[in-house]
Amino acid sequence: MKDLSKNVGLNVKLNDQGQLEFSDLLGGEMSKRTVADMKEVLLDLGIEDRDLYFMYRDLRSAADEKTIRENNLRFDLTVILPGKLGREYVKTLGHYHPLKTGTEISYPEVYEVISGRAFYLLQRPKIENGVENFSIIEEAYLVEVRAGEKAIMPPNFGHVTINIDSEPLVMANWVSANFSSVYGDIKKLQGAGFYLIVDGNNYKIEKNDHYQSLPELITTQPKPLPEFALEFGRPMYLSGIEAVKSLDYLNYPENFIDKTRPKAIFE
């Protein structure tokens, strides 16, 4: 059993099966994804079914209920188990966020690595007259994020999380409660535009040939963003509750578009 409470800011432990345990908290109903759930986005087929990751949505303390609800926010935790999926590393299904009504800007999200190391694969599809062409990707980034670090998933970018290490990856996220994620456009193209392929103890990149056009994949890291209360080494849950207006960009992305572009949030 690994106590993650100091890193999360809530009473949370990781058990030996890679699942979270918590007490005195609201929400957090667990759902999971298996190999069978992921078959439409995998490079290789015929992989034996097993659990891949666990999601715990809408976690909060009773004392913070009012603050979170009044600001239309949701706090989640996810555990991605280690291992391989044929030639790939274990990853999430991947998703996009919908465009906010009346704009050509989608809702962003912010992640924090609690334990382990994450690679976030981000891709921005072409938008014309408010319609997204998901087979044409205009920007793509691979963002390496270590324990205690935070990374914003910028507006208009879909994202996939990959665990290439030999330990569970535990991560937290804040997101607007005003929408649901969109998975279909990732599934139609057999995953994101790039696959992380096992290469000894490291990885190599392979393009997904189902896409019409892919850019160069840029490798980068996040940087601290004090304006958004995203200091490295301090639990994002606590920062968000104490300075809840610093999370306004999650609900009003149109007001923060320049400050949440990749060039502003990544090294």
Q: How many domains does one find in the chain?
A: 1
Tell me the C-alpha distance between 170 and 44, whole Å.
Answer: 25
Pairing of strands 217-220, 131-146: parallel
CA-to-CA distance for 45 and 237, rounded, in angstroms? Answer: 38
State residue 142's pLDDT score: 98
> Which among 24, 79, 75, 77 has a CA at the least distance from the CA of 51?
79
Say what the pLDDT of residue 234 is.
94
> Residue 198's domain spans which residues?
2-265
Q: Would you state the pLDDT for residue 200?
A: 86
Give the pTM.
Answer: 0.94
Q: Quick one: which of 86, 191, 79, 85 has its CA closest to 135? A: 191
How many residues would you count in the chain? 267
Closest to 123 measured CA to CA, from 56, 226, 61, 213: 213
In angstroms, the Cα distances linking 88 to 18, 164, 197 are 20, 9, 5
Cα–Cα dist 92/154, whole Å? 18
Helix (H, G, I), strand (E, B) or coil at 247: helix
Predicted confidence at residue 147, as pLDDT, reads: 97
User: Any idea which residue has 């009003």 for tokens?
Assistant: 252
CATH code, domain carrying 179: 2.60.120.10
Give the pLDDT of the chain (267 residues) as one tens digit per residue. 899 999 999 999 999 999 999 988 999 899 999 999 999 999 999 999 999 999 999 999 999 999 999 999 999 999 999 999 999 999 999 999 988 988 889 999 999 999 999 999 999 999 887 778 899 999 999 999 999 999 999 999 999 999 999 999 999 999 999 888 888 889 999 999 999 999 988 899 999 999 999 999 999 999 999 999 999 999 999 999 999 999 999 999 999 999 999 999 998
- Rounded to whole angstroms, the Cα distance separating 42 from 240 reads 35
C-alpha to C-alpha distance for 156 and 190, rounded to whole angstroms: 19
Give the side-chain half-sphere CA count within 13 A for 62: 2
| Residue range 170-208, pLDDT digits in tens | 999 999 998 888 888 899 999 999 999 999 888 999 999
Residue 130: what pLDDT?
72
